[in-house]
Structure 1
Amino acid sequence: WDVLIRDEATKEDIQNEYIRFLRGIFKGTEPTKYIQLAYLTGILPIKKEKTQSALNNFDEFTMVSPSILAQYIGFTEAEVQKLSNKYHKDFDKVKKWYDGYLLKDYQVYNPRAVVSVMLKGEYKSYWSETASYEAIVPFINMNYDGLKTAIIEMLSGSSVKVNTATFKNDTVNIQSKDDVLTYMIHLGYLGYDQTEKIAFVPNEEIRQELTNAVKSKSWNEMLMFQQESETLLDATLDMDNETVAAQIEKIHNEYASVIRYHDENSLSSVLTIAYLGTMQYYFKPVREFPTGRGFADFIFIPKPEYKSVYPALVVELKWNQKVQTAIQQIKDRKYPSSISDYTGDILLVGINYDKKSKKHQCIIEKV
């Protein structure tokens, strides 16, 4: 229904004429004489402001508010499990690549991607084969305050708060970071938690697409940040404790200055951003990964093609304690045993932030 609304080149008078046309078909008592049910589909909800009253007799179901249709918008987890069994695919791998949309209480998968991987057997992004890829590039490069930082945070595995109420449901009146993020939610480039009101990158497929979109219009900030993050990853793999601690401190001071350390949660926010350089070789980090006797703060599992070269990373964070405590907790609670099936070598990374000295300490051990 919304092609004319999304087309930036369409003049406003044509859009208004189109809305009047729809109103003439569906509004009032006359249409009920010959229409039992009208079902309109599109990417955007009904356009806000002047046109709102023109078509307010429709019930809307969107990516922001799916209501009772949540489980029907895509494939549910149970459906994907059945398909994986039928087509002999690794469900855990399908989940990492294509899961992540949270619609009410349902984990929902993109049906096009799931069908494609079941029939073709290739774990890759099928997103760029759609027209919406071209639509997103200009928007994520808009110079709205906080937009680029939000994109970096979500690519790194974090979630960001978003106010979806300001979006006017068209592409002409986008005026803020929240408008761009809301548009990306409707396009499917971001997942959305309706309860927490946060946006996030849902899966590996979308993470690749967003990374390509960022690279297509070079961000100097992004290029510099990637270099810093890759230096951190190299130092971690080399088990260079001092460089890792110094690099985390540098990234915090230069790129995450808005995050103030108060506890382990704020430290973990910085860590998520700092390890963006893992994106090429590792799946999105799993936070609070369930292990033998508790939850590890971060688990970085290498992609299958890199499993023989890159170790998994088990990261435990401490705030205002001893860094040895972090390493000992990993060992005592047998964190590595829970991921041994996914990887080869494992690095145990303990990180502590000392509030008094404002310094980070790091210890890395190999399993």
Structure 2
Amino acid sequence: MDFAGLKDDIINLIAGGPVWFDCLTFQNDMTSIDNKEQVFSLLVCLGYLGCRKFPNAGTERCAYVPNREIRETLIDIVREQPWYNAMPVIERSEKLFQAIRSLNAKTTAEIVGGIHNSPYVSVIGYNKEEALVFCLISGLMWCAESSYDSFRELPAGKGFADLVFVPKNKPDLPIMIIEFKRDYSAEDALNQIKEQDYAARYRQDGDEREVLLVGLNYNSETKEHHCLIEKM
């Protein structure tokens, strides 16, 4: 069913964005579903989605995916749909992953910039490095969720790496260490990875997995992103 863009809303939820719906029409009926509002009301009542109520929002509620387990289940369901490969956000995820793997920093920055301009990022405010982290996590989700474990502020070397993707028992996939900078350069971000030796933990015990170092910045004056990628 694609009531009023339901497919897009489900994908947005999986990517970490909120979805607003009106709970007023829900009749606690699992067989007579007539619109998107009833779908989200039912999923909230069954516990598959979390729900927040905000002051002065009336009967509108904000739905969200409450944990990783439910997100992975939703991803599995979406992957089984015949329209899966035709969704732009999924195609974008594949392009972003391949751009990073091929050390294509220009394309990586362009795709992250596109995610920055999406409606979800404006919800959290694009004035902190937190928003850059969100862009990468949501952008890579469809390619990385089932194949990688992701870690934020991971203790590594002499400090804490902003974001690290480590393959789940797949030695053919690269480890990705990503550092973000706002109003500093991508070179500053990349140099921090090296100077703080964030990759040290992955050079132990003869670990020969490929490691990619990704420095990404956002310039708040020019509204541009820049990226540098190196392979260890």
Q: 1:199 to 1:229 in 2, by over 3 A?
A: closer
| C-alpha deviation, 1:357, in angstroms | 1.1
Q: Which residue of 2 aligns with 1:81?
A: none
Q: 2:153 maps to what in 1? A: 288
Measure, in 1, the Cα distance between the counterparts of 2:78 and 2:140.
Answer: 17
Matched residue SS, 1:261: coil
Unaligned runs of 5+ in 1: 1-137
Q: Distance in 1 between matches of 2:78 and 2:24?
A: 24
Q: Equivalents in 2 of 1:312, 1:289: separation in Å? A: 13
Shift in CA distance, 329/183, structure 1 to aligned 2, threshold 3 Å: farther
Alpha-carbon distance, 1:142 to partner:
5.3
Mapped contact 2:152–2:162 kept (Cα < 8 A) = yes
SS in 2 for 1:318: strand
Distance between the aligned counterparts of 1:267 and 1:220, measured in 2? 26
Q: Which residue pairs with 1:175 in the alignment? A: 37
SS of the counterpart of 1:344? coil
CA distance in 2: counterparts of 1:326 and 1:298, whole angstroms:
12
CA distance in 1, matches of 2:50, 2:114: 30
Partner of 2:55: none
Structure with more contact order per residue of length (Cα contacts < 8 Å, sep ≥ 6): 2
How many residues are treated as equivalent by the alignment?
A: 213
- Contact persistence 1:349–1:362 (CA under 8 A): yes
1:314 aligns with 2:177: yes
Letter in structure 1 aligned against 2:151: V
Matched AA of 1:332: E
> Retained in 2: the 8 A contact 1:229–1:276?
yes
Moved more, 168-177 or 321-330: 168-177
Bigger fraction of residues in helix: 1
Residue identity matched to 2:97: L
1:222 Cα deviation (Å)?
6.7
Q: CA deviation at 1:212?
A: 2.6
Q: Distance in 1 between matches of 2:88 and 2:229?
A: 26
| Contact preservation (8 Å) 1:296, 1:314 | yes
* CA radius of gyration, larger in: 1
The 5 Å alignment of 1:181-260 reads: 181-183=43-45, 186=47, 199-203=65-69, 206-219=70-83, 223-254=87-118, 256=120, 258-259=122-123, 260=125
Q: Following the alignment from structure 2 to structure 1, what is the Cα–Cα distance between the partners of residues 27 and 199?
A: 47
Change (3 A) 1:216 1:149: closer
Which residue is 1:83 aligned to? none
Query: Separation in 2 of the partners of 1:316 and 1:170?
Result: 47
1:335 equivalent to 2:198? Answer: yes
Q: How does 1:60-209 map to 2 (within 5 A)?
A: 143=4, 147-154=9-16, 170-172=28-30, 175=37, 179-183=41-45, 186=47, 199-203=65-69, 206-209=70-73
C-alpha separation in 2, matches of 1:311 and 1:233? 11
Name the CA shift for 1:347/1:181 in 2 (closer, same or farther; >3 Å).
farther
**For 1:295 and 1:200, how far apart are their aligned partners in 2?**
26
Deviation of the 1:151 alpha carbon: 2.6
SS in 2 for 1:310: coil
CA separation of 1:177/1:279 partners in 2, compared to 1, >3 Å: closer, same or farther?
A: farther
Query: As a proportion of its length, which structure holds more strand?
Result: 2
Check whether the contact 2:19–2:64 (CA below 8 A) recurs between aligned residues: yes
TM-score (norm 2): 0.72
User: 2-side partners of 1:276 and 1:190: how far apart?
Assistant: 18
Distance 1:364 1:221 in 2: 27
Deviations 1:44-99 (A, max 9, x none): xxxxxxxxxxxxxxxxxxxxxxxxxxxxxxxxxxxxxxxxxxxxxxxxxxxxxxxx
TM superposition shift of 1:162 = 9.1
Deviations 1:182-234 (A, max 9, x none): 246x3xx5689xxxx9643424xx55532231133445797221111111111
Q: CA, structure 1 residues 167+334, in 2 after alignment: closer, same or farther (shift >3 Å)?
A: farther
Deviation at 1:312, TM superposition (A): 0.5
